[in-house]
Amino acid sequence: MEMFRSHVLICGGAGCLSTGCKAVLAQFLAELKAHSLEEEVKVVETGCIGTCDLGPVIVVYPEGVFYQKVKVDDVKEIVEEHLLKGRYVTRLLYERPVSGEQIPHYGDIDFFRRQKRIALRNVGLIDPESIEEYIAQDGYFALGKILTEYTPEQVIEELKASGLRGRGGAGFPTGLKWEFTRNAPGNPKYVVCNADEGDPGAFMDRSVLEGDPHSVIEAMAIAAYAIGAKQGYVYVRAEYPLAVERLSHAMDQARQYGMLGENILNTGFSFDLEIRVGAGAFVCGEETALIASIEGKRGEPNPKPPFPATSGLWGKPTLINNVETYANIPAIFQRGAEWFAQIGTEKSKGTKVFALAGKVRNTGLVEVPMGTTLREIIFDLGGGIPEGKKFKAAQTGGPSGGCLTEKDLDLPIDFESLKAAGSMMGSGGLIVMDEDNCMVDVARFFLEFTQDESCGKCTPCRVGTKRMLEILTRITKGEGREEDLGLLEELAENIQATALCGLGQSAPNPVLSTIKNFRDEYIAHIRDKECPAKVCRALMKYTITSELCKGCGLCARYCPEKAITGEPKKPYTIDQSLCIKCGNCLDKCPFNAIELK
């Protein structure tokens, strides 16, 4: 067995790949060879560690020293100072926001210290392409235990006792879904993993598949045993090539080790998996549209009932859970349902992974117990709002969710609390906004996304969201009418009540929540023809303060439309009919004489 005195973990998630982690890894290998350290130090490419804005990220063990934004040119210094001399490279250490205090150790950084990782327990810790490393973290222990000690009914009862609810959005009790599928008449039965993660800013499922694919494979095998299935499918969007590559590799390894295929662990149980790659349609995250896509049909939803548990793939009983839901399963059976049920709230057990993005200092993946408040996530883990700006809102649940405001900061984040506040858990996207965000424009952005992604099958979604988008666009252009708010609310309620699937039914949520919480901004756009956040370009107005203007002419020189005129050493003026609101004048004025209203 190989023994190493140090391990260098290099984040190999999609975010760090985009910032050059492969080149950093190659340089590490070269420097270790140059210093004859190949036999003493092991370099491991992991999945996403979670701090997506700090990549490339590395953690050096056994000390657990966290280095951020590591470049190729930094590697030689890390090898010579840290690995050879035991001295930390302080300029690459993490600094606590505001105070600037350096925190050398991974486990002491607030972003990590305040998390409780279950679904992400191995992500960023192990080599996702090594089944041996997964097994060393008790991987496949739960599968072996279940196949030798549990009946299918006992598996389902244990899962029901854990209180796990689906992490894909609606939060349906997972154990009940498994029970319904097992009891449904008809064979064969199928197990499906929904990895068609389409919410803007969400990347929880992708990170699990990239960083811990064996956890999903193990969980799906357990699910297959529980419901009586022999075949499973993982439906992944084509925009996740790294996830597809690592999952495919893990499936090959699982077959070689007897964890997939015929006669798993010599127990007589057989189960295998296939990957189906989707073209990236957001609607295929809806389970009936996903089923149609796997079958080779156009990805469009179908009315329910029947539900997939009774009539799914090829009309047979089908169990569908998303990646994060499956990622919890092995841990529950390793440590027991009672352990899991003690985490979270009365009705929302366990943890939830969020993709924290937007106007927050620390962006990335966080996993916290259900019931953690919005304030804790944004200000304790996220480090607060940068540049001294004021928190304004947080969008939860992606384009299907709603906006929470300052009054909701102490709201415990769980399924019931979010629903009561007019939002939803969704898959786990959490986008933070500050005072510079226009909430009318935010609503327009999300509705534009869902309208574009509508499959067009039902009239309420196809036509209704288009009409709503037209109204919102008109408002952001300063062409809003007094009756528009009432019309938006009426359209939204009709769409929610009559759309065929969850995408259409939830599409109006961002509009309704922003009207409810930021009605004054809508009124300012409609009545005053002003955008308080100065985001909507058609409502912007650049003016020159004559007392400050020195007549240097820089603004006129850089104006692409020749909208600025004047004489040298005298105040210039802007012709508003010609101004295209490009902002060049504001950027170029050295005397702060240009004002944006």
Indicate which CATH number applies to the domain containing 374. 3.10.20.600
Which domain-ending residue is among 383, 404, 434?
A: 434
Residue 569 lies in a domain: yes
Write down the pTM of the prediction: 0.93
Q: Answer yes or no: do 288 and 153 share one domain.
A: yes
User: Residues of the chain whose pLDDT is less than 70?
Assistant: 1
For residue 273, the Cα-to-chain-centroid distance in whole angstroms is 25
Q: Answer yes or no: do 422 and 454 share one domain.
A: no
User: CB–CB of 318/192 below 8 Å?
Assistant: yes
List the domain range (segments joined by +) for residue 588. Answer: 540-596
User: CB–CB of 159/46 below 8 Å?
Assistant: no
pLDDT tens readout for residues 425-475: 887 889 999 999 999 999 999 999 999 988 989 999 999 999 999 999 999
Residue 163 lies in a domain: yes
Q: Answer yes or no: do 313 and 211 share one domain.
A: yes
Q: Answer yes or no: do 386 and 362 share one domain.
A: yes
Residue 532 lies in a domain: no
Specify the CATH number for the domain of residue 70: 3.40.30.10
Q: Answer yes or no: do 191 and 255 share one domain.
A: yes
Q: Answer yes or no: do 430 and 445 share one domain.
A: no
User: CB–CB of 593/566 below 8 Å?
Assistant: no
Residue 531 lies in a domain: no
Residue 589 lies in a domain: yes
Q: Answer yes or no: do 243 and 105 share one domain.
A: no
Whole-number Cα distances in Å, 506 to 402, 442, 559: 9, 16, 43
Specify the CATH number for the domain of residue 277: 3.40.50.11540
Rounded to 10 degrees, the C-alpha dihedral 114/117/123/126 comes to: 100
DSSP code string of 13-51: SHHHHHTTHHHHHHHHHHHHHHTT-TTTEEEEEES--S-
Which domain-ending residue is among 499, 526, 553?
A: 526
Rounded Cα distance between 489 and 487, Å, is 5
Q: Answer yes or no: do 510 and 391 share one domain.
A: no
Rounded Cα distance between 518 and 516, Å, is 6
Q: Which of 344, 383, 325, 348 is nearest to 54 (CA)?
A: 383
Number of domains in the chain: 5
Residue 118 lies in a domain: no
Specify the CATH number for the domain of residue 464: 1.20.1440.230
Specify the CATH number for the domain of residue 585: 3.30.70.20
What confidence score (pLDDT) does residue 70 get?
97
Going by DSSP bridges, is the β-strand pair 65-67/58-61 parallel, antiparallel, or unpaired? antiparallel
Q: Answer yes or no: do 164 and 309 share one domain.
A: yes
Going by DSSP bridges, is the β-strand pair 391-396/429-434 parallel, antiparallel, or unpaired? antiparallel
Residue 125 lies in a domain: no
Three-state secondary structure readout of 87-122: CCCHHHEEECCCCCCEECEHHHCHHHHCCCCCCCCC
Q: Answer yes or no: do 98 and 51 share one domain.
A: yes
Which domain-ending residue is among 486, 503, 526?
A: 526
Q: Answer yes or no: do 177 and 241 share one domain.
A: yes
Rounded Cα distance between 272 and 263, Å, is 10
Q: Answer yes or no: do 166 and 19 share one domain.
A: no
Residue 588 lies in a domain: yes
